[in-house]
């Protein structure tokens, strides 16, 4: 039995806890059954953004006709984009591997670890134990129970980045952020994309106005079917057939495509770890249960990132590392703060949001004010010909604390960030923004305008 000071399971954000522990000269075991760097580097944020930026440029060029720029796109160079994507992924992966290899205080177990008892794991032929353990091994794509799926070759976000040539046609099953992002990329590169989502909304977790606009705009560059039940898939002469049925009207359709991409959600990797043998509690969906300090029911066993099943973003997992580090090694415990978790969806249009939606704030019984503002009503938005984009903000009516914000349109991820900073500053109100000079004419004005348009959502009246 090998003994360590710390075992880290999963090498996404967990890696940075391992390197901090090494800074304190602790002996660390890393357990990883895939490539180093986790989802974000290998099959998530980084490769997908390298693919999506060129798609965004294409849309800008096409839409620039509205403001008097008439350009033609000669071609889209997938080989170059594919190469640029792998250059950054493999370089980062390689430098992580080198760093781990050269550190005598880290042992890397490239296998699937399984708990055999509390604080004890079986890794391949060896058994290891430590008084402190971090579970940060994330989630994997959920494979839905669709008749015929097991017999058909399909892609998931774990495999899709490995393709070397673009499919002529693609059905994406699912209607969340992955569907919007992959749909944006593939359609811009000439693939005929069909999205088939089960939820009546595209991006169902966003504000309804955001979801509606995304559906309207996305339908211009791909076929989008929402509120559908996929009844069967099968191999056909031309590739693959997907049969689906409208959940409201019962209308049946089928599409024939070269490739299928599943993006129907994720499942916890906790089952691969046999966590119950480690005495670790999971919830009904198999996510690891943690207290406000990210500690499991086993003292000094912590969990962070996607495996706790809440806010599945790399920046959140990075923040969790700070929380876990503090709570593992200091007397002053730090609870996790989830009031202002931001995220973006790099579809076309782009979406950025933080905090609560209007409906969530209402369901908590809060008295709220809501403000919206259109890009087009600012000088910069008008000059860009941005007719659809808008900002929506939700504020506590009594304290003026910002509860949440959503942006859809160009640079949404950057625009929403200014709200994130305010939600973490001082008394968390928008007053500093009201007191600030905002550069004119810049897109930032649309965020300021949204706070300037606050009103009671239950009593609409003209100002």
Q: Two tokens at 183? A: 């749909």
CA distances (Å), 42 to each of 85, 110, 259, in order?
A: 10, 16, 21
Among 1.10.150.530, 3.30.390.30, 3.60.150.10, 3.30.1010.10, what is the CATH number of 349-452?
A: 3.30.390.30
Res. 14: pLDDT tops 90 = yes
**261-276 pLDDT tens trace:** 999 999 999 999 999 9
Q: Which CATH superfamily is domain 2-140+267-329 in?
A: FAD/NAD(P)-binding domain (3.50.50.60)
In CATH terms, 149-264 corresponds, of 3.40.50.300, 3.50.50.60, 2.170.190.11, 3.30.9.10, to 3.50.50.60
Average pLDDT over residues 15-30: 96
- Going by pLDDT thresholds of 50, 70 and 90, the confidence category of residue 459 is confident
Q: What proportions of the chain, in percent to the nearest 5, are helix, strand and coil?
A: 35, 25, 40
pLDDT of residue 72: 96
pLDDT digits (tens, 9 = 90+) for 76-94: 999 999 999 999 999 999 9
- Please give the model's pTM, rounded to 2 decimal places: 0.96
Cβ atoms of 170 and 194 closer than 8 Å: yes
pLDDT above 90 for 105: yes
Rounded-to-integer distance, Cα 430 and Cα 422, Å: 7
What are 335's two structure tokens? 């609870």
């Amino acid at each position: 039995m090998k003994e360590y000071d710390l075992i880290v399971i999963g090498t996404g954000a967990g890696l940075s806890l391992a390197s901090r522990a090494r800074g304190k000269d602790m002996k660390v075991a890393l357990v990883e059954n895939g490539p180093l760097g986790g989802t974000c580097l290998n099959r998530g944020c980084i490769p997908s953004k390298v693919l999506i930026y060129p798609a965004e440029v294409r849309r800008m060029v096409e839409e620039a006709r509205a403001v008097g720029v008439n350009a033609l796109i000669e071609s889209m160079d997938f080989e170059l984009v594919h190469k640029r994507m792998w250059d950054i992924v493999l370089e980062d992966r390689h430098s992580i591997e080198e760093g781990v290899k050269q550190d005598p205080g880290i042992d890397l177990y490239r296998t699937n670890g399984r708990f055999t008892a509390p604080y004890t794991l079986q890794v391949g032929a060896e058994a290891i134990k430590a008084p402190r353990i971090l579970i940060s091994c994330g989630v994997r794509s959920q494979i839905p129970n669709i008749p015929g799926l097991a017999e058909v070759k399909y892609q998931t976000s774990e495999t899709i980045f490995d393709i070397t040539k673009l499919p002529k046609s693609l059905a994406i099953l699912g209607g969340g952020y992955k569907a919007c992002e992959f749909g944006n990329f593939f359609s811009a590169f000439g693939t005929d994309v069909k999205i088939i989502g089960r939820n009546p909304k595209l991006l169902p977790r966003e504000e309804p106005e955001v979801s509606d606009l995304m559906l309207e705009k996305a339908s211009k560059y791909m076929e989008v079917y929402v509120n559908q039940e996929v009844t069967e898939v099968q191999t056909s002469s031309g590739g693959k057939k997907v049969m689906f049925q409208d959940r409201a009207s019962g209308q049946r359709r089928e599409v024939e495509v070269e490739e299928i991409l599943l993006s129907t959600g994720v499942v916890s990797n906790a089952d691969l770890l046999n966590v119950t043998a480690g005495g670790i509690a999971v919830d009904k969906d198999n996510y690891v249960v943690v207290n406000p300090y990210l500690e499991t029911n086993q003292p000094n066993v912590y969990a962070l990132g996607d495996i706790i099943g809440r806010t599945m973003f790399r920046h959140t997992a990075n923040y969790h590392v700070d929380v876990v580090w503090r709570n593992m090694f200091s007397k002053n415990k730090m609870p996790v703060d989830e009031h202002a978790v931001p995220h973006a969806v790099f579809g076309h249009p782009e979406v950025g949001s933080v905090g609560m939606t209007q409906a969530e704030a209402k369901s908590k019984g809060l008295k709220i004010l809501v403000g919206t503002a259109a890009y087009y009503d600012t000088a910069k938005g008008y000059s860009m010909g941005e007719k659809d984009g808008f900002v929506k903000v939700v504020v506590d009516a009594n304290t003026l604390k910002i509860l949440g914000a959503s942006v859809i349109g160009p640079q949404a991820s950057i625009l929403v960030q200014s709200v994130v900073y305010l939600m973490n500053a001082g008394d968390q109100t928008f007053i500093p923004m009201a007191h600030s000079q905002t550069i004119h004419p810049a897109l930032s004005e649309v965020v300021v305008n949204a706070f300037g348009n606050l009103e009671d959502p239950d009593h609409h009246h003209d100002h």
